[in-house]
Every structure is written in C-alpha cells, then in structure tokens.
Amino acid sequence: MPEKGRPVQSRRPRPEPERIDVAALYEDEWLLAVDKPPGMVVHPTYRNWSGTLLNGLLWRFRDRPAIEPRIVTRLDKDTSGLVVVALNADVHARIQQDAAKGRIVKEYLAVVHGRPDPRRGAIALPLARSAADRRRVVVDPCGQESETRYEVLSEGPVSVVRCELITGRTHQIRVHLAARGWPILGDRVYGTPDGTLPRQALHAWRVSLPHPVSRDPVALEAPVPDDLRRFFP
C-alpha cells in the first residue's frame, strides 16, 4: 500500500517524444496519415515502452502543444502500411463514429499460400482470444462476429489478395485467411515462417473516409513496400 498522502504511481510510463522518422502521406490541421514500416510497434506496450510510432508522433508535434495525436488504425508490429492519426480528441471521436456507421473502408494487400477459391467472396467467422494463449486469436462459435471480404488480384504458388475489413478484430485478416487454408506468407503465428521474408506479407494499403471536419471524401494510400513488391505482377 502507498504511504498516506503520496500519489499512486502508474505502472505504465507516459510516452515520451523520441526522434523517430515518420513518413507522412497526408497531413492537415486535423488529420495525419503515415506509412508505417514493418518491425515498428504502433503504440507503447508493456514490452515496448519506446521506439514506437506514437513516440515519433509526439516528437513530430513537440512544439505544437494543442495537438494530441491519437492513433485511429492500429497495425501489428510486422504489418506495414497506412496508419491514420487524429490530431485531437474531437476528431478522434468523429472518426470512431463514422467507423461505427460503416463510413470508413479499410483495404489490405496480403500474399498468401495457395490459390483462393472462389476468387472473390467473404469470410464470416467469429473470433475470440485463445484460452490457451491470450496472444492468439482463434475461430470460436462464441466469439465476436467478424467479416473479411476478399478478391484475388493474382495467383500462383503464392497469390496476392485484396482484403476489406467489414469488422476490425485483432488479427482478423491473418486468422480468417489461415482458417480458409490460405495462410499469409511469413506469418509465424498463424502460418509458417518463410526464409525469404522475416515478417507476415500483409500491408495496410488504402483507407477511404469522410473528412472529420469538412466531410469531403478522403482517399489515402500507402505504396507497396520493397520487400513485398516482388510478389506483385
């Protein structure tokens, strides 16, 4: 128990600004879109208190105290691509409202083993945390309703698939594709490691949304990174 009169110390340190390069794809006074490289953690966790995208954002806006960056679209550490950042709490709330009403479209590109059949469709499988390992997500009839729409862009021994998130569950695309027998190349958790690719071949490609202030349509896109480009026709 803390001594009487002393404040209780938080176990989680406050994120600090760090000089980390952030590649901006779009920016105005309300909204920022950045291109996250694979290997970068988005938000500090108990294992990664520093070196994250948020630390870099705090550095980017270190001289603008009115800006409070809030990450809207989080990605796994080894997923590359587009991350949308609200620059104040009101903008963050408006984007969350739009997401809840289905006004935001999120598209990913995945390189998978095999040839998905049919070439276009939807995967609707409920997902939940694994009881044996809380870091994993599994298909569970008692889990949360989850849907991923997909379209094959090219096929061969490995295929390129465009995925659209209808719901946004943790590891959703990775688990859904693996459950259908098309695991993502290099996915060490839900597929098999790949000697030529040290991370899962998943890229957050496009986000379309109404601008949180002007309400004009905004289309954002992150270019395919070099380590995945060789798989594309």
- Return the minimum-mean-pLDDT range out of 42-51, 73-82, 208-217, 222-231: 42-51
Take residue 27 and report the two structure tokens written for it: 């920016």
Closest of 38, 19, 36, 122 to residue 72, by C-alpha = 36
What's domain 24-223's superfamily in CATH? Pseudouridine synthase (3.30.2350.10)
What number of other Cβ atoms are within 10 A of residue 58's Cβ?
19
Give pLDDT tens digits for 103-162: 999 999 999 999 999 999 999 999 999 999 988 999 999 999 999 999 999 998 899 999
Candidates 76, 78, 187, 194; catalytic one: 76
Q: With a threshold of 0.85, does the pTM exceed it?
A: yes
- Total residue count of the chain as it appears in this document: 233
Q: Is 76 a catalytic residue?
A: yes
Give pLDDT tens digits for 183-231: 999 999 999 888 889 999 999 999 999 999 999 999 999 999 999 999 9
Closest of 185, 209, 230 to residue 79, by C-alpha = 185
Under a CB-based contact definition with an 8 Å cutoff, are residues 143 and 150 in contact? Answer: no
Q: Encode 71-110: b = buried (16+ Cβ within 10 Å), e = exposed.
A: bbbbbbbbbbbbbbbbbbeebbebbeebeeeeebebbbbb
Where do the structural domains in the chain lie, given as residue ranges? 24-223
